[in-house]
Copies of this chain bind each other. A is one copy, B any other.
């Protein structure tokens, strides 16, 4: 049995966050001691590790709830779980695409970020004032 602090240490999820997950129903409420403190077992640890991992991969709490619900239904879970993961992948790709466009734009606007000298004329404020100076749409 683990205390909430031990669970936190093992999973890397902060203590208030664990309580928050319980409050939202993502993590089942564990047993309590006579003194009302939470005590977790291996199943709790596994569940939290799952959540942690999925959050790291950018899944929303909602999506994780969906995945957890699927774990009890091995018959239909594969396709549904895959759909959720695919949606997540598409989301990540869209974000990368957008960020790359922004990186390009910022790289053009900001000078001297890589240790070179700063240019004489101040381009940053002018660029931000006038969208027409941009190379890409965004």
Interface residue tally for chain A (C-beta within 8 Å):
48
Interface assignment of A34: CB less than 8 Å from any CB of chain B: no
Interface string of A87-126 (1 = CB under 8 A from B): 0111011011001101101110111110000100110110
The answer on a CB contact under 8 Å between A57 and B89 is no
> Given A78-B124, A124-B78, A128-B53, are A110 and B96 neighbors across the interface (CB < 8 Å)?
no
Q: Is the CB of B92 within 8 A of A57?
A: no
Tell me which residues from 20 to 61 in chain A have a Cβ below 8 Å from any Cβ of chain B: 46, 49-50, 53-54, 56-58
CB nearest neighbor in B for A84:
B124
Taking CB atoms, residues of chain B closer than 8 Å to A49 are: 129, 131
**Cα distance A73–B17 in the bound complex, in angstroms:** 43
> Would you list the 9 A-B pairs with minimal beta carbon distance, nearest first?
A85-B110, A78-B122, A86-B113, A81-B124, A89-B106, A92-B103, A96-B99, A85-B124, A86-B110
